[in-house]
Structure 1
Amino acid sequence: MSTIMTATAAISLSKVSKVYGSGPGAVTALDGVSLTLSRGSFTAVMGPSGSGKSTFLHCAAGLDRPTSGSVRLGETDLSGMSENELTELRRTRVGFVFQAYNLVPSLTVRENIQLPVLLGAGAPDAAWFAHVVETVGLTDRLAHRPSELSGGQQQRVAIARALVTRPDVVFADEPTGALDTRTGAQVLRLLRSVVESTGQTVLMVTHDPAAASVADRVVFLADGRLAGALEAPTVKVVAERMTRLGEW
């Protein structure tokens, strides 16, 4: 997979390694991973437990610094940035959706969605906010608080919050892990529609072949290394590939 930056690349990792600890007890979570995500693409990352999926996401999103290698968000090289600069980048150019919705209970849906913009002392783009809210189906829920919403609705709020700053990339970490099968499928269809309707780039870590099948491409990790990729994935083929990863 190419690591050459182009005008259409949303994010690029080049020979990224992450080692925790030192000496004989050191653990290599990522080992020379290179990957480029095109703008407007939906990529799923899969692998066995301990394969490095979460570390991959954290390094790609600027939540953790690689031990070696480089990460670029668009034309921006993250390796030379200070902690304050990384914090600003994560707030304005990166969106996050986690298994836990991480909503503020005392705030309304509107306030939760607008939180990243308000923390940056900015004003939400009214037209974009309205478009995002309509896309995720929350127009009639803006005055509600999280406790008044179902789990699926709360995850929709989290997705809207991730989109409100028009980020370069949305990182989703097991976004359907806390949802039942039906609601999870609705959230996945929503993420798919977001990619298609807004040109958003999504990188999703998942253990679920059904979730991965919604993506354009599935990238497999094993023992901290890339272990192949699958274009136009189906549930059956993804599940079969995951079974074989145990032999990697």
Structure 2
Amino acid sequence: MATGEAVRLESVRKDYGRVTALDGVSLSFPRGGFTAVMGPSGSGKSTFLHCAAGLDRPTSGSVRLDGQELGNLSETQLTKLRRDKVGFVFQAFNLLPALTVEQNVVLPLRLAGRRADRRRVADLLGHVGLSDRRKHLPGQLSGGQQQRVAIARALVSRPAVLFADEPTGALDTRTAGEILGLLAESVRDGLTVVMVTHDPVAASYADRVVFLADGRVAGELLQPTATAVAERMTHLGAWADRMPVGGF
């Protein structure tokens, strides 16, 4: 496993008017680690993901991604860093329907003005089990296959971190397990994955689960099982109910 930190948040606060979405969050994510982020609805999970990935700027505090302090970057520099260092996988696959599997995968490189390495693309399609589907359109694929395309697209630029937001939320249980296994396999190859999820089974594929409640860190669990995560979430919901009103 690689050493060092891929992402670090220090005292990150994010306010939307009078609503505090994140309230002094300090977390680090090791290189080559698979971390799930969980919490009750409205706990700040999506805001955390957006701040950690450089999609949104915190009101205060600092975020370092692959050694770079995001607060020091201009919007242009931030866009380049996201393009070069960050991969994204969402619940919605966000594939372009008129492009083939292969064309969707190489799209980030084309948009960046970079030439696609055909061997790299072929290896990626093999890695996600779609070598025989590279000329298919998204409409000819199952939901699980479309998510595999989205993962290959996220990996094509060799990102430092892959951020996943409910990546299996639209998939059936068996297909979700295949996708999570694919993410875990990518971590063994050295990728860093930070995944927001509400599903204890999905979280059990991670090395570590971080819990948020009312915009604050509410603990973590190492080598999680689905049962342990579900139990912690049950207690967390009760704990969050006792927190002061005003979280997000």
TM-score by length of 1: 0.94
Structure 1 alignment gaps of length 5 or more: 1-5
Q: Is residue 10 of structure 1 aligned with residue 6 of structure 2?
A: yes
Give the AA of the match of 1:186. E
Q: Distance in 2 between matches of 1:204 and 1:192?
A: 11
Provide Cα deviations, 1:100-126, integer angstroms capped at 9, x if missing partner. 000001111001000111111001233
Structure 2 residue matching 1:62: 3-state secondary structure: coil
CA RMSD of aligned residues (A): 1.1
Q: Indicate conservation of the 8 Å contact 1:135/1:194, yes or no.
A: no
1:127 equivalent in structure 2? 119
Q: Is residue 75 of structure 1 aligned with residue 76 of structure 2?
A: no
**Which of residues 209, 215, 235 in structure 1 aligns to 2:206?**
215
1:41-80 map, 5 Å: 41-80=33-72
Q: Distance in 1 between matches of 2:187 and 2:56?
A: 26
User: Offset at 1:156?
Assistant: 0.1
Q: Distance in 1 between matches of 2:206 and 2:50?
A: 20
1:133-152 map, 5 Å: 133-152=125-144
Distance 1:234 1:56, change over 3 A: same
Q: Distance in 1 between matches of 2:207 and 2:120?
A: 25
Q: Distance in 2 between matches of 1:210 and 1:66?
A: 30
**Which of residues 206, 218, 232 in structure 1 aligns to 2:223?**
232
Provide Cα deviations, 1:38-96, integer angstroms capped at 9, x if missing partner. 11000000000000000000000000000000000121110111111111111111000
Percent identity for Structure 1 against Structure 2? 66
Distance 1:157 1:200, change over 3 A: same
Structure 1 residue matching 2:12: 3-state secondary structure: strand
Q: Indicate conservation of the 8 Å contact 1:117/1:123, yes or no.
A: yes
Structure 2 residue matching 1:246: 3-state secondary structure: helix
1:3 equivalent in structure 2? none
Count how many residue pairs are aligned between Structure 1 and Structure 2. Answer: 238
Structure 2 alignment gaps of length 5 or more: 240-248
Q: Is residue 202 of structure 1 aligned with residue 202 of structure 2?
A: no
1:159 equivalent in structure 2? 151
Give the AA of the match of 1:221. L
Q: Distance in 1 between matches of 2:29 and 2:133?
A: 34
Q: Is residue 96 of structure 1 aligned with residue 88 of structure 2?
A: yes
Q: Distance in 1 between matches of 2:66 and 2:202?
A: 26
